[in-house]
């Protein structure tokens, strides 16, 4: 068994170093048998290091690299990436690519560090990088200066190392802790500036009335005000005699399988089915992110105040990752000791999102997350949150709540006596509905489902062993146990249960219902047996997200690893998240796609009104932050806001429209009718030539979601239509098929309130 230690956002117990993944990482303990680099093939990336050496000083000319994706993105010398001087005679550029990346073609060039000319391109054909290795003669790069009179020769070195997502995350943390700028294409992924830049201009056109409710507008689709357990899957075995989950063609993400018939048993019954979507045959199936055979613990990392100048690379093409994590000594000279044994979770998920672009989000193995815990410990809340996250990532996920089965079969008026350990009829009835729910979940998995969330107390070993027997040869089980020792939190959860649960809907006497539930809780406590068998995750006092522990045992696989990272960042602290598009831009006025234009006069007015709104709405929330993309229309929209840190995320940039950038849809229809028609038929999966699809956007937004889940203070996200559609779909649990058509109007603020009762939405329209 592993030792207990501080929680793994910053460190894991058991002495596994940052280099652990390469040697078989055990999350919080010694590596299990079968560890080693082989366990990491599923999420592996190639860390490529290109070096050029020449002892001759060549004035202010600096070696650069330019070429195809993902190094640069175009054969434009003005956008070339500068190589960094590693030694007096050595320059280096490093980046990360998938192991099976398509051949990258590029060239070296020399140009002044602070000017665009002169630009001297190396002689010969483009260099080809395949599988991380250079093809052909890779030893020498020749440059001709002053016409053909002078030739400079550089020796070229290339090295490629396989690294895991956790190793990439360790690099992310190194730059964070040392505040070293790291840029791709001249733009930092994240930059923090806590100093006010522009004061808000006063004037009648830019001010808001004191009553913010004056600007409230109805939401297009109000979220259901319903008990969370009722939103779980409908019990097919009880309400559809003879029906099989295999006939359920509508997957949890709302994408209809072309090989199945149409039968919507999902709780999003108000959503219309769309035409069948073809799956991406290029995606491969993998596993092996984490291999753990012992118990480990994770503890939240407390960020220091006043962080400035923070830059983070996230994604393919990041040039400044340290060369070798396994060496435990990075380029910055920082050594990792036993006190810092695991990278920050958000960084790991950011890297995992990059890896996911390579191998896809689906795995062969079906996964059952079986909740365990006493009543009023947050099991259903955790189940709902995890279901929403996995659906948003594209995993076919469904929440099965055994309480819903019990109420349908035995009614809602069962007293505490029904749950006594000496009531054989009650025990048999509860085991029966648990078995029915498990059978439904397995049938659903056999029909195409991937992750089932099995929500019940499952408080005895006997019950859990029954579920494990049923799961044999059908799916892998991971027990997720929620433990809470705070009496105040338990009391709050109990009272919410009495107010919301259908079990007490017909109980007119609140106090009588409260007493009955507490007696039910005592009956469960008498026979409760903590999880100690199989694969499991224990969430101990993590309700507030501070001071808790996350223990994992025998967890392996890419998807289970992502689930662990999501859970370690989740908490219940209520806080608002405000989403808004930038103010109207010149391209909005002209009806053009993409671009990086400035705001129109109307957009500038909205920026002032937005600053006034945030000042009034968040006047008591001095720890709030403003997040923007790196495009100037969002930066300009945020510029009048004062008093809050502003963070630029490259991940929040608008969907890349590739060769269509700057065109109108009419121009696209006329010039590229086939592309226009392909997009019209499948906006979700359609990828602009040399650009992105909505699914690509969702993948790169995963680290943003993790950071939003981590935040305990309000966040204002100023971004773009496609990006905000994807973020909004996450919070409101909308099917992926609906993402491209979600209404996201200009000059409107969508406030998402996150808390123990779920997600609530309010909209403010500041301008027409």
Active site residues: 455, 484, 582, 654
Task: Name the DSSP class of 517.
Answer: H
CA distances 441 to 384, 393, 727, Å, are 16, 20, 28
Torsion of CA 661, 663, 667, 669, to 10 degrees: 40
Cβ contact 551:537 at 8 Å? yes
DSSP 8-state secondary structure symbol assigned to residue 12: B
Question: 351 vs 51, 329, 739, CA distance in Å?
Answer: 24, 20, 24
For the chain, first and last CA: distance in Å?
62
State how far the Cα of 264 lies from the Cα of 567, in Å rounded to an integer: 29
How far is CA 339 from each of CA 16, 291, 545, 631, 701, rounded to the nearest angstrom?
A: 10, 21, 21, 39, 30
- DSSP label at residue 43: G
| All residues at 6 or more sequence positions from 509 whose CB lies less than 8 Å from its CB, including other chains | none
* Cβ atoms within 10 Å of 749's Cβ, excluding its own: 24
Tokens found for residue 6: 């501080």
Asked whether the beta carbons of 637 and 749 are under 8 A apart, the reply is no
- For 266, 326, 339, 629, 650, the CA distances from 17, given in Å and listed in that order, are 44, 9, 9, 34, 30
Which residues are 481's β-sheet partners?
A: 372, 538
Helix axes 165-178, 345-359, angle to 10 degrees: 140
- Nearest-10 crossing angle of helices 345-359, 558-569: 150
- Coil, helix or strand at residue 537: strand
d(CA 660, CA 676): 10
Range 472-511 burial, b when 16+ CB lie within 10 A, else e: eebbbbbbbbbbbeeeebbeebbeebbebbbbbeebeeee
Write phi, then psi, for 352 (nearest 5 degrees).
-60, -35
Kindly list the distances between the CA atom of residue 581 and the CA atoms of 184, 493, 633, in Å, as whole numbers in the listed order.
Answer: 24, 36, 10
Kindly give, in sequence order, each residue whose CB lies less than 8 Å from that of residue 68, ignoring residues fewer than 6 positions away.
75, 104, 105, 106
DSSP string, 486-506: -HHHHHHHHHHHHHH-GGGTT
> Which residues are CB-contacts of 319 (< 8 A; sequence separation ≥ 6)?
81, 84, 93, 94, 95, 182, 183, 184, 313
Cα dihedral 248→253→256→258 (10° resolution):
-100
What is the spatial distance between Cα 168 and Cα 33, in angstroms, rounded to a whole number? 24
Instruction: Tell me the two tokens of residue 384.
Output: 């709902």
Which one, of 377, 414, 376, lies nearest residue 507 by Cα? Answer: 414
The two three-digit tokens of residue 143, written as one number: 């440059």
| Angle, CA of 408, 456 and 380, to the nearest 5° | 95
Angle at alpha carbon of residue 515, lines to 513 and 520, rounded to 5°: 95
Beta bridge partners of 550: 539
């Amino acid at each position: 068994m592993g030792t207990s230690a501080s929680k793994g956002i910053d460190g894991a117990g058991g002495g596994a170093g940052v280099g652990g993944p390469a040697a078989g990482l055990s999350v919080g303990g010694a590596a299990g048998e079968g560890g080693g680099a082989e366990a990491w093939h599923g999420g592996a990336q190639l860390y490529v290091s290109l070096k050029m050496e020449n002892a001759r000083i060549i004035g202010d000319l600096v070696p650069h690299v330019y070429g195809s994706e993902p190094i640069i993105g175009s054969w434009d010398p003005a956008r070339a990436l500068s190589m960094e001087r590693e030694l007096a005679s050595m320059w280096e550029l490093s980046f990360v690519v998938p192991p099976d990346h398509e051949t990258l073609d590029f060239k070296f060039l020399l140009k002044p560090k602070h000017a665009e000319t002169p630009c001297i391109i190396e002689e010969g054909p483009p260099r080809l990088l395949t599988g991380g290795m250079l093809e052909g003669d890779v030893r020498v790069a020749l440059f001709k200066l002053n016409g053909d009179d002078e030739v400079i020769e550089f020796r070229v070195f290339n090295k490629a190392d396989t690294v895991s997502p956790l190793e990439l995350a360790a690099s992310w943390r190194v730059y964070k802790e040392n505040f070293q700028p790291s840029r791709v294409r001249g733009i930092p992924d994240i930059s923090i500036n806590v100093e006010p830049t522009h004061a808000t201009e006063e004037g009648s056109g830019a001010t808001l009335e004191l009553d913010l409710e004056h600007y409230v507008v109805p939401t297009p689709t109000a979220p259901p005000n319903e008990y969370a357990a009722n939103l779980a899957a409908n019990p097919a075995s009880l309400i559809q005699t003879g029906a099989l989950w295999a006939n359920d063609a509508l997957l949890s993400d709302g994408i209809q399988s072309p090989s199945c018939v149409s039968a919507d048993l999902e709780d999003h019954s108000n959503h219309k089915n769309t035409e069948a979507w073809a799956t991406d045959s290029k995606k491969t199936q993998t596993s092996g992110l984490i291999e753990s055979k012992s118990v480990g613990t994770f503890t939240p990392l407390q960020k220091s105040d006043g962080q400035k100048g923070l830059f983070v690379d996230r994604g393919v093409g990041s040039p400044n990752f340290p060369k070798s994590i396994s060496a435990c000594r990075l380029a910055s000279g920082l050594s990792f000791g036993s006190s810092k044994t695991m990278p920050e979770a958000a960084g790991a998920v950011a890297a995992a999102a990059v890896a996911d672009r390579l191998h896809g989000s689906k795995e062969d193995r079906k996964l059952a997350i079986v909740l365990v815990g006493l009543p009023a410990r947050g099991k259903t809340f955790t189940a709902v949150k995890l279901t929403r996250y996995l659906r948003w990532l594209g995993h076919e996920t469904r929440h099965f709540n055994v309480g819903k089965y019990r109420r349908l079969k035995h009614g809602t008026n069962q007293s505490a006596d029904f749950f006594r350990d000496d009531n054989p009829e009650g025990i048999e009835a509860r085991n029966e509905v648990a078995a029915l729910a498990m059978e439904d979940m397995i049938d659903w998995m056999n029909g195409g489902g991937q992750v089932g969330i099995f929500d019940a107390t499952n408080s005895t070993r006997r019950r859990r062993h029954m579920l494990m027997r049923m799961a044999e040869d059908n799916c892998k089980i991971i027990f997720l146990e929620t433990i809470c020792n705070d009496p105040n939190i338990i009391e709050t959860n109990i009272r919410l249960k009495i107010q919301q649960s259908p079990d007490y809907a017909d109980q007119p006497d609140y106090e009588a219902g409260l007493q009955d539930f507490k007696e039910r809780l005592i009956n469960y406590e008498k026979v409760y047996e903590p999880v100690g068998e199989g694969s499991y995750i224990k969430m101990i006092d993590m309700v507030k997200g501070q001071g808790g522990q996350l223990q994992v045992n025998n967890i392996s696989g890419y998807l289970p690893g992502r689930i662990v990272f999501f859970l370690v960042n989740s908490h219940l602290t209520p806080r608002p998240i405000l989403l808004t598009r930038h103010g109207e831009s010149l391209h909005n006025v002209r009806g053009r796609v993409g671009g990086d234009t400035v705001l129109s006069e109307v957009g500038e007015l909205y920026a002032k009104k937005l600053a006034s709104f945030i000042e009034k709405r968040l006047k008591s929330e001095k720890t709030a932050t403003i997040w923007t993309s790196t495009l100037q229309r969002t930066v300009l929209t945020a510029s009048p806001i004062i008093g809050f840190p502003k963070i630029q995320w490259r991940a929040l940039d608008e969907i890349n429209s590739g060769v269509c950038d700057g065109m109108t849809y009419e121009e696209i229809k006329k010039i590229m009718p086939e592309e226009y028609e392909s997009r019209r038929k499948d906006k979700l999966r359609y990828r602009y030539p040399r650009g992105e699809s909505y699914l690509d956007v969702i993948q790169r937004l995963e680290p943003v979601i993790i950071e939003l889940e981590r935040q305990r203070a309000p966040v204002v996200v100023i971004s773009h239509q496609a990006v905000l559609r994807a973020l909004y779909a996450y919070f409101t649990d909308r099917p992926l098929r609906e993402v491209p058509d979600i209404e996201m109007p200009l000059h409107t603020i969508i406030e998402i309130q996150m808390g123990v009762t779920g997600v609530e939405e309010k909209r403010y329209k500041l301008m027409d």
